[in-house]
Chain A
Amino acid sequence: MPPLVAFRNVEKHFYAPHGRVEVLKGIDFTVESGEFVGITGPSGSGKSTLMNLAAMLDVPSRGVVAFDGMDVSRMADADLCDFRKVRVGMVFQKYCLLPHRSVLDNVLFRFRYVPHDRAEAGKKALQALDLMGLAGIADRPARLLSGGEMQRVAIARAVVLEPRLLVADEPTGNLDGRTAESVMTCFASLNRQGLTVLLVTHNEHLLTFCSRSMRCVDGGLEAAAT
């Protein structure tokens, strides 16, 4: 069985006014199904770029990124969009909620570009909120939530379509220590239920929640001591 995510000699560079910037250099890396992988590293080390490639938000400059054994590195944009719709859930540092909409509607927003049955989607969204302990505030406008609640709504939105991979980019970056731990507990709980999680964080203390951790250094990847 192929790994869920596989990077084979992946390179990524960008063009800046002062010339080409090599962000990732020859990355070989896999994430097996059911793993909780944490990636840490200093700012600018390339961990967010790595996450974008894993979430199929970007394609490598060289090398191969495979998802579930399928090479996604040369896919057309429209195909990548289709791939992202249900296979990958994402959680961001600043939650990316729609402030004018209710908690439930924010979770339902996951269905925005996916053909769905309205009643079924509503049921799934409430289940996801229940899983995050937020079913009681489903009707509350998102702008009135605390940071921790917002992030849990974002997690509910990410997992409501039961993706194969959950990618979280600095999900605790805006939260205090206690709230960050409760959010990490959510991730760990989802992982225990079989969801593969790829976490990017600069907070090395949070790596204790992960089953495996890596460290991004100068565009390369090495095993991190936890």
Chain B
Amino acid sequence: MSLSMTLRDIGDSIRSQPTRFALSFLAIGIGVISLVLLLAVLSALNTKSERLVQDLGVDVVGVLRLSPVDQNGGLSRRHAELLKRNFEDLTISSIRRYTAPTLGTRQQLTVVATDDHLASVRGWSVVAGRFLDRLDVQGAQRNAVVTRALSEDWGWQVGNLIYLRDTPFTIVGIVNAGGSALDTEEGDPRLVLGDRVVLVPKTVQPYWDQAQTPSRGAIDALFVRGTQLSAPDLMPALRAVLQQPDQRVGKLAWVTPASLLREVNRLKKSIAVSAGTVSALCLLLGGTALMSLMVANVRDRITEIGLRRSLGATRVDIALLFALEAVAVTVAAGLFGTLLAHAVLFLTAGNWPVPVQASPWSVAIPPLAAAVLGALFSYWPARTAAGIAPSEALRNE
């Protein structure tokens, strides 16, 4: 069967019943739009999941202090040391977070007092210079590492002298700290440090801290990366050491890639079920509209079926005629719906209450789904048309 003749047959059929075809096209198109939106949301949530894991660090356990630092205890450097003594193969880093202005401005920076392991534990990359090293920490050197965003915004380069309130520091490196995926409404500032971060050795006296927060080696968070064990396997052992009664760590929050993903996965599941049901119903309604069109089409074209059979068309030819018409309409509606939905996504980017992201799947799956829908819902009408005996069809003439 030549393609041009088949396309011509399809064109003739659409021209003979434009309203019916337009309604089916619209019904399928709406279903496809809903499918594209669903896939775009799921794709964005998948990307978010991947970035969450990347931003925390693969197989990293974060231990966050929940209790305030007071005389009775709380998470401190002593606990980091305790973990290091108990788990020699683990890489452990601790942070204390402050805010401070730089000299001559009122803009607040996040100052993170940490050790030389933080970049390697969190998987950060050094963009220029180096990260803090052991000598910086042991010697309480006034060296600082800044985030790339801060370096770009304020033009800070390696070697520049900066002031945290009145205390001078020399920039020794610039890091790409990531963390934007963790920067959600629920994001803990100790997990996501933000864009404007200056990292300094934890041993430097916090002269910039006007609030004079009681220090005594208190820390806000610990990050632990295992070499042998994954985060879920590591956590019970860490918990057992830290939460011995005499350690007085107070309340802690335990963060692992799995715990970060739990919320996203829950959201993903509820969207997949709710929006997926709506999308499936829309497509089902579109398919039903298409089937009713095809049934009416077969009924109206019985004489044409008879004519074609008298000219030598086989049953398969007749079935294909109707099936291809349906698939052509659904594929056209699928492409149109996909295009329209992506245009809407592009034009309204950033205005959605949930993350949305176009992906190869959101481009490829909807037209394919529409084609399958066309084939499925035209099966019965096409089979009916093919089953009409030529003499029967021509009797209706």
Contact = CB atoms under 8 A, between A and B. Distances in A.
A96 B311 CA distance: 12
13 contacts: A48-B395, A52-B394, A57-B391, A58-B389, A77-B315, A81-B309, A84-B309, A84-B311, A109-B311, A110-B311, A112-B308, A113-B317, A169-B394
B310 A84 contact: yes
B312 A96 contact: no
B3 interface: no
B315 to A, nearest CB: 6
B133 interface: no
Contacts, number: 64
Interface in B298-336: 303-304, 306-315, 317
A55 B310 contact: yes
Interface in A53-105: 55, 57-58, 77-78, 81-82, 84-86, 88, 90, 92-94, 96, 98-101
Contacts of B317: 113
B309 to A, nearest CB: 7
B312 A113 contact: yes
B12 A58 contact: no
Contacts of B310: 55, 57, 84, 88, 90
Given A48-B395, A57-B391, A96-B307, A114 B12 contact: no
Contacts of A49: 391
Contacts of B303: 94, 96
B391 A101 contact: no
Interface of A: 48-49, 52, 55, 57-58, 77-78, 81-82, 84-86, 88, 90, 92-94, 96, 98-101, 109-110, 112-114, 169
Contacts of B311: 84-85, 109-110, 112-113
Contacts of A57: 309-310, 389-391, 394
Give the residue among B16, B313, B389, B390 with the most A Cβ atoms within 10 A: B390
A112 B5 contact: yes
B15 interface: yes
A114 B312 contact: yes
B89 interface: no
B313 A92 contact: no
A100 B308 CA distance: 16
A98 B12 contact: yes
Give the residue among B308, B312, B315 with the most A Cβ atoms within 10 A: B312
A84 B307 CA distance: 11
B12 to A, nearest CB: 5
A101 B15 CA distance: 11
Contacts of A90: 310
Nearest to B396: A94
B16 A58 contact: no
Give the residue among B15, B309, B311, B390 with the most A Cβ atoms within 10 A: B311
Given A48-B395, A85-B312, 16 more contacts: A52-B390, A57-B309, A57-B391, A58-B390, A58-B391, A77-B314, A81-B312, A81-B313, A82-B312, A84-B310, A86-B312, A93-B397, A98-B12, A98-B304, A113-B312, A169-B394
A78 B314 contact: yes
Contact of A96 (B12, B313, B391, B397): B397
A48 B390 CA distance: 13
A55 B394 CA distance: 12
Contacts of A85: 311-312
A136 B391 CA distance: 34
Nearest to A169: B394
A93 B303 CA distance: 11
A94 B317 CA distance: 23
Per CB-CB distance, the 7 closest pairs between chain A and chain B, nearest first, are A85-B312, A52-B391, A58-B391, A113-B312, A57-B390, A96-B307, A57-B391
B15 A100 contact: yes
A92 B303 CA distance: 10
A58 B392 CA distance: 9
A77 B390 CA distance: 10
A113 B389 CA distance: 17
Contact of A112 (B15, B313, B394, B397): B313
Nearest to A93: B397
A57 B313 CA distance: 11
Interface string B352-383: 00000000000000000000000000000000
A45 to B, nearest CB: 15
Nearest to B315: A77
A226 to B, nearest CB: 27
Interface string B110-146: 0000000000000000000000000000000000000
Contacts of A92: 307, 394, 397
B104 to A, nearest CB: 80
